[in-house]
Amino acid sequence: MAATRALRIGLIPGDGIGREVIPAGRRILEALPASLGLKFSFVDLPAGFQTFKDTGAALPDKTVETLKKECDGALFGAVSSPTVKTPGYSSPIVALRKKLALYANVRPVKSIANATRPVDLVIVRENTEDLYVKEEKTYTDPVTNKRVAEAIKRISETATHNIATIAGEIAQKRQKIRDNGVPSIHSGPRVTITHKSNVLSQTDGLFREVSRAALAAFASSKPSVAIDEQIVDSMVYKLFRQPEDYDVIVAPNLYGDILSDGAAALVGSLGLVPSANVGKEFVIGEPCHGSAPDIEGKGIANPIATLRSTALMLEFLGADEAAARIYKAVDANLEEGKLLSPDLGGKASTDEVVNDILKKL
């Protein structure tokens, strides 16, 4: 019998419904069969806007230190954003991505097997730069005497190479899964580079150039990955018109953020869409939805994005079989359609959905 692998997972609920769905991630991990050879322990960690209001720090140093020294991976719930300018506050998930070198945000978007419109794609978003470096300034134009705000858009060769490389790896891995008998709408692996180099010739031009160069290695290896590209505005149009055309999409930070939230509409709800923040040494699973203050405390938050994010975290920790068990149980719940949360047109509570998925697990 293979040795049991111990994994310590940091749990960061954050704000709003994050505190309601992250416990679902813990429950699904604890419910995995012992035959998979995994044993989990957990540590609860603070971060978020409420933590900032309570302590003055949205991301306490202790949280980062614990993740680095004690944890193999983590689950992050959601963050509330202040509606007015709040001196000293900045997003803890953005800071975590930088402090833990989580350079890739991986967001699968997939319809269920009996869907009338097939969708099976992954958006791979660069996670550390672009406009999200947050280097902004506001000044008064001496001619008009009106305020002007400017922001730096940073695209580097190193970060672009890293994100294009992981996109190629994901495309090949997805094809190997298909080759093992998993049904697919795709005939082969493909990566679509998204950019706006026709206008932003230096920044997006560099992203396009370096991505093509990095992906060339995957075009000449097996399984061979096809490479194409799409200007971001036409990408939005085609994504909604022809989602079945896309397998893996790689994009700079801002475009990837917009595309992945928009793509969630193709499958019915942000409550279904997972993500993982991935680096060379760490991974954080993170549902794509926000803190949803309008439904906070009502017990009706959709836990599926968190459960899928938990499975995605396991994938990047090398626990593919455990991840597959979770995906199958979630898909069974959706395909049966008897216990769905209100965002999907159902009446089930968060706990009812989780309990149904645990039974199917």
Q: Which domains are delineated in the chain?
A: 1-102+279-361 (3.40.718.10), 111-267 (3.40.718.10)
Q: Could you give the CA distance from residue 361 to residue 355 in angstroms, rounded to a whole number?
A: 10
Pick the closest to residue 102 from 188, 41, 22, 163 (CA basis): 163
The model carries a pTM of: 0.91
121-134 b/e (C-beta count within 10 Å ≥ 16 → b): bbbbbbbbbbbbee
Report pLDDT for 82: 85
Helices (H), the chain: 18-30, 49-55, 61-70, 92-99, 157-179, 203-219, 232-241, 253-264, 304-316, 320-336, 350-360
Q: What is the pLDDT of residues 123-175, one digit of tens each?
A: 999 999 999 988 999 999 999 999 999 999 999 999 999 999 999 999 999 99
Pairing, β 276-278 against β 283-285 = antiparallel
Q: How far is CA 12 from CA 263, 346, 360, in A?
A: 25, 28, 26
Pick the closest to residue 93 from 10, 12, 9 (CA basis): 12
Strand arrangement, sheet containing 276-278: 38-44, 5-14, 73-78, 283-285, 276-278, 104-110, 120-126, 248-251, 190-195, 226-231
Q: pLDDT-derived band of residue 2, with 50, 70 and 90 as boundaries?
A: low
User: 155: Cβ–Cβ under 8 A, 6 or more apart, which residues?
Assistant: 129, 130, 203, 204, 206, 207, 252
Q: What is the pLDDT of residues 26-39, one digit of tens each?
A: 999 999 999 999 99
Give the side-chain half-sphere CA count within 13 A for 87: 0
Burial class (CB in 10 A: 0-12, 13-18, 19+), 330: buried
DSSP letter string over 299-330?
S----HHHHHHHHHHHHHTT-HHHHHHHHHHH
Find out whether 185 and 174 touch, Cβ atoms under 8 Å. Answer: no
CB count within 10 Å of CB 57 equals: 16
User: 145: Cβ–Cβ under 8 A, 6 or more apart, which residues?
Assistant: none
Strand partners of residue 130: 154
Higher pLDDT, 262 or 207: 207
Q: What is the pLDDT of residues 33-85, one digit of tens each?
A: 999 999 999 999 999 999 999 999 999 999 999 999 999 999 999 999 888 88
Per the prediction, the chain carries an average pLDDT of 94
Report pLDDT for 5: 95
DSSP letter string over 173-233?
HHHHHHHTT---S-SS-EEEEEE-TTT-TTHHHHHHHHHHHHHHHHHSSSSPPEEEEEEHH
Burial class (CB in 10 A: 0-12, 13-18, 19+), 226: middle
